[in-house]
A and B are shown apart, each in its own frame.
Chain A
Amino acid sequence: MTSALPLIVDAIVAWLAIGLLALVPIGSGFAGRSLFVAGALVGLAISVIALSGIGGVAQTMVLPLGLPDLPFHLRLDALSAFFLVLLGGAAAGISVFSAGYFHASRNASPRLLCLQYHVFLAAMALVLVADDAYVFMVAWETMAMASFFLVTTDHVVPEIRRAGFLYLLIAHIGAVAILLCFGVLQGGSGDYTFGSMRSLVLTGAWPSIAFLLALAGFGAKAGLLPLHVWLPEAHPAAPSPVSALLSAVMLKTAIYGLLRVTFDLLNAQLWWWGVAALVLGLLTALFGVIYATVQVDMKRLLAYSSIENIGIIVAGIGLTILFKANGKTLLSSIALAATLYHALNHAFFKSLLFLATGSVLHATHERSLGKLGGLIHRMPWVAWSALIGALAIAGLPPLNGFVSEWLLLQAFLFTPTLPQSFINMLVPLAAAALVLVAALGAYVMVKFYGVVFLGRPRESHLAYARDAGHFERVALAWFAIGCVALGLFPGTVIGLLDNVNMTLIGATVGQAGDRWWLLAPISPDRSSYSPLIVLLVIAAVVALTMQVVHRWYHGRVRTGPAWDCGFPMQTPRMQDTAEGFGQPIRQVFEAFFRIERVLPSPFDAAPKYRVTVGDHLWQWLYLPVMRAVELMARFAGTIQQGRISVYLVYSFVTLLALLMFVR
């Protein structure tokens, strides 16, 4: 399609218009519901437009906006289109959910919220189509500011204000790194359009500096170690649809930026960049998943799980760079396809789970895992969809999380002999680490799902929990169907991803044969996986077994009290709590955590046991930096006297110094 880009621009304008419309007081009530639904339709439209434009040639556009002589350059290529599909698809579902969720907001004005929400969406879409550093930074900062206001929706709570401030701080550390990265990329030409950066060939250490700045800058936004600390604070602070948007889409814009700089703006990649990204990504993934196992707040748990998934994605990018730098384009394209596939999957299942926690929060006003339980009976709709999300994120066949992990493992496994011999040793170890992350991911999800939805309610008021409303149900179903579809038809998805592969790598994964039901990247003799057949066989065996058992024997069922080895007096509090379920992992990985224990003495009248699990990096990195900043501030404070005569002397001395040295 030739006119995809103008349509995308129209859609961005439509989102902004919806945001502004929210401010217009129509009648006395709030028109948010219909506005959010309209926003969802715009998201769907963006998805469809981008999907139709993904195979076409890159389109460019110049908008006469902004400062004089600095028009907006926009461009739509396969990479932008893929991330627009992701953005549109996730935004469509999340907006529908928001329509049901935000109608009874307590502290914030819903009108303002609607404005911020749609500005956030529009800014993210603009980031994806920006074609010069100027537009990119404007959109990037708009995105950061809009999301800051969304995170601090409940700004009356001091912790939420603190979380928002931390987020803003790290977002700006990242933004400075990105700005410097673009400064390096323009290479002294003074031309900040991406087109000129593409044609420019940097020499010496400059490409490496640009890559490392991009890794730091986009890594701060994505939640890579050690700049991840904002993520577990900001995600629980935000309202659930906003958490979903942050986790599902905003983290992906950082991935987009990293891919754009590494594979598009830089002409050649060095192999050690790949090693750096691979190691950093795997460390982040391990860190995220180990911390997720010990969380007791359901949104914090999901936030750490996002860190894990971003780690996996960045490890995939590292592998792509490593292969591409060594000229193994086929493997490189498999690794990139796995990376993009995982990004898309993560957008779907993480949205689903965050929205499910939103529904739980809505129904129970409870975020602590230790006070939930048994919701599968009261909230079947939410429980069903959350089960699909949890199984998908745990990487189980035949759902979507498994496909991307499978592809990534294939890329690891078929490492041919690379010229750097120690890398040949590193890659299997990295595969082992990845498998460990995946297995722990399943642990986290059993904990999350089991504690929230299964078992008996741990608090009596949970018996009055009501299932999600219509809007919420539609949104949950949208993401659940997405998870299943992305899992069952990998061949079709890979076909789309090959467009991006062609643009960035210059090679495609290439399906062996054109059997859409079979995923076989190189040849079916080498590796193949068909989720559809797996699902059909499992369903057939289940149905057959049921028939046979019921026909030959009987289907009688009696209900009775739980057996539990005959122990009487079972109370719901005897079930595993979130702490209890995570305890083995906490014990095994004790060195990873900063654990503070308060143990009761045998003589306490009211014994209390308390254990808090913290992050070493706060102690090792953030607090020293904070103290250094405070020290410098105190030093600067001595200069500041507060008397005008002193300041006049400063100005006078400065003037003299300038006159002397600068002629």
Chain B
Amino acid sequence: MSATGFLSQLLQLAIALLLAPVLVGWVNQCRAWLSNRSAPPLLQPYRTIRKLFTKDAVVAENASWLFRMTPYIVFAAMALAAAIVPSLATDLPFARAADAIALVGLFALARVFAALAAMDIGTAFGSMGARREMFVGFLAEPALLMVLFTASLISGSTSLPTIVDTLAHREFAIYPSLAFAGVAFTMVSLAENARIPIDNPATHLELTMIHEAMLLEYSARHLALLEWASALKLFNYSCIGLALFLPFGIAEGSADWLAILGATPVLIVKLAVGGFALAMIETLSAKLRIFRAPEFLGTAFLLAVLAMLVNLMLGS
């Protein structure tokens, strides 16, 4: 573990924490433009978070310590995930601590805590949200892992920096296994980030909520942390996608902080394009009924398994 590595690690984490709300703001802006509405400012998520931090937290009477701890744990899990996903550099000391499988484990940890906290108050919507979130998760998580497995079969490693290094140095071509994996990954990301075919981040219609139903009882700083955590989750998924399918422009090897600053604009451009694509998908598709979700995610799972088999059969 080198000093520069540690520095680049902290720098990447700081940039991830700062950029994540902006990404959400950008996606909201694009969505508004595409549906002919006037757009909220780019930094609106920051204002919301700051507003929430200044308010008094209102906690339901029968909330337990689990309810109050969960926002911090979810936020910490997402921050750790942001530290190990190679978004700017591949020389990440923390990446040793958790590889691709552990990354999926971290997402699961956050999901389980959020679901438990939603059940803690004992309201109808809370437990409904928890049930649906776990329901979406049990299909999305294996699909995500299969996508990562495909990438690690190509690179012979489950360590994310090694995967990115390998993928970035291949001849530029369309690989069939990665194409399947890419489609599967997009579908999983939509589901995991509570995006439109599965869930709608803008909804407060009671019967269609999944993610929002879990956060219903939270307010003030707890809600701010959870919002920030879900922004980080979107950021992390975007960076995983970019690292697997467009691994160019990431500072490699033992990069110094200058290289990281050089990699930042590239990341921002890639994220902007990705965010626009996400807004496009959301605008063009309609929300699925909850029991159509297994079909959607089952397709993603099968595509991911197919990607793995294609990789084994064709070797590409």
Contact = CB atoms under 8 A, between A and B. Distances in A.
B241 interface: no
B142 A396 contact: no
A575 interface: yes
B32 interface: no
A454 B76 CA distance: 23
B116 A450 contact: yes
B97 A533 contact: yes
Interface in A131-185: none
A585 B135 contact: yes
A473 B58 CA distance: 33
B8 interface: no
Interface stretch (B105-113, B192-200, B262-270): B105-113
Contacts of B53: 549, 552-553
A446 interface: yes
Contact of A534 (B97, B121, B146, B157): B97
A545 interface: yes
Nearest to A428: B308
Interface residues of B, number: 82
A409 interface: yes
Contacts of B204: 565
B102 interface: yes
B85 to A, nearest CB: 14
Given A541-B75, A562-B122, A564-B125, A526 B312 contact: no
A574 B119 CA distance: 12
Given A396-B109, A406-B101, A558 B312 contact: no
A572 B119 CA distance: 12
Given A397-B109, A524-B159, A574-B124, A588 B217 contact: no
B216 interface: yes
B153 interface: yes
A546 B112 contact: no
Contact of A588 (B109, B111, B294): B294
B171 interface: no
B98 A435 contact: no
Contacts of B206: 565
A609 B111 CA distance: 32
Given A529-B99, A570-B124, A556 B56 contact: yes
A581 B127 contact: yes
Contact of B305 (A428, A553, A560, A581): A428
Given A524-B159, A526-B159, A542 B76 contact: yes
Contacts of B126: 564, 575
Contact of B159 (A450, A525, A563): A525
Nearest to B68: A557
Given A374-B62, A526-B156, A549-B53, A425 B108 contact: no
A438 B134 CA distance: 12
A449 B96 contact: no
Interface in A559-604: 559-565, 567, 570, 572, 574-576, 580-581, 583-585, 587-588
Contacts of A440: 138
Nearest to A576: B127
A261 interface: no
A431 interface: yes
B21 to A, nearest CB: 15
B80 interface: yes
A402 B112 contact: no
A518 B99 CA distance: 12
Interface in A386-411: 387, 391, 394-397, 402, 406, 409-410
A442 interface: yes
B72 A526 contact: no
Contact of A527 (B72, B75, B99, B138): B99
Interface string B36-74: 000000000000000001101111111110101100110
Contact of B58 (A394, A425, A560): A560
Interface in A104-127: none
Contacts of A13: none
A561 B76 contact: no
Contacts of A450: 115-116, 119, 127, 130
A396 B105 contact: yes
A413 B146 CA distance: 10
Q: Which of B58, B116, B313 has the most CB of A within 10 A?
A: B116
A443 B294 CA distance: 15
A406 B19 CA distance: 31
A439 B141 contact: yes
Contact of B216 (A439, A564, A570): A564
A446 B135 CA distance: 11
B99 A557 contact: no
A549 B158 contact: no
B305 A397 contact: no
Contacts of A443: 134-135, 137-138
Q: Which of A391, A396, A518 has the most CB of B within 10 A?
A: A396
A208 interface: no
A625 interface: no
Q: Which of B73, B122, B312 has the most CB of A within 10 A?
A: B122
A268 interface: no
A57 interface: no
B131 to A, nearest CB: 5
A438 B137 CA distance: 11
A424 B312 CA distance: 8
Given A538-B76, A558-B58, A373 B134 contact: no
A556 to B, nearest CB: 5
B149 interface: yes
Given A406-B102, A428-B305, A556-B57, A455 B121 contact: yes
Given A396-B105, A529-B101, A530-B98, A413 B116 contact: no
Contacts of A584: 131-132, 135, 290-291
Contacts of A442: 108, 111-112, 134, 137-138, 141
A537 interface: yes
Given A428-B309, A446-B134, A527 B115 contact: no
Contacts of A402: 102, 105
Q: Which of A387, A445, A538 has the most CB of B within 10 A?
A: A538
A449 B105 contact: no
Interface in A615-654: none
Contact of B122 (A428, A454, A556): A454
B75 A574 contact: no
Contacts of B305: 428-429, 432
A563 B72 contact: no
A537 B116 contact: no
B60 A439 contact: no
Nearest to B95: A528
Nearest to A427: B312
A228 interface: no
Interface string B86-106: 000000001011110110011
B301 interface: yes
Given A377-B62, A397-B106, A564-B126, A431 B149 contact: yes
Contacts of B77: 538
A559 B115 CA distance: 21
Closest 10 CB pairs of A and B: A455-B122, A456-B122, A576-B127, A541-B76, A450-B119, A533-B97, A564-B123, A435-B142, A562-B60, A530-B97
7 contacts: A450-B116, A454-B122, A455-B121, A526-B157, A542-B76, A567-B125, A588-B294
Interface of B: 53-54, 56-64, 66, 68-69, 72-73, 75-77, 79-80, 83, 94, 96-99, 101-102, 105-106, 108-109, 111-112, 115-116, 119-128, 130-132, 134-135, 137-139, 141-142, 145-146, 149, 152-153, 156-159, 162, 204, 206, 216-217, 221, 225, 290-291, 294, 301, 305, 308-309, 312-313
Given A397-B105, A545-B75, 18 more contacts: A391-B112, A394-B112, A406-B105, A425-B312, A431-B149, A450-B130, A455-B127, A524-B96, A537-B80, A537-B97, A546-B72, A554-B56, A560-B61, A561-B60, A564-B123, A564-B126, A572-B122, A576-B124
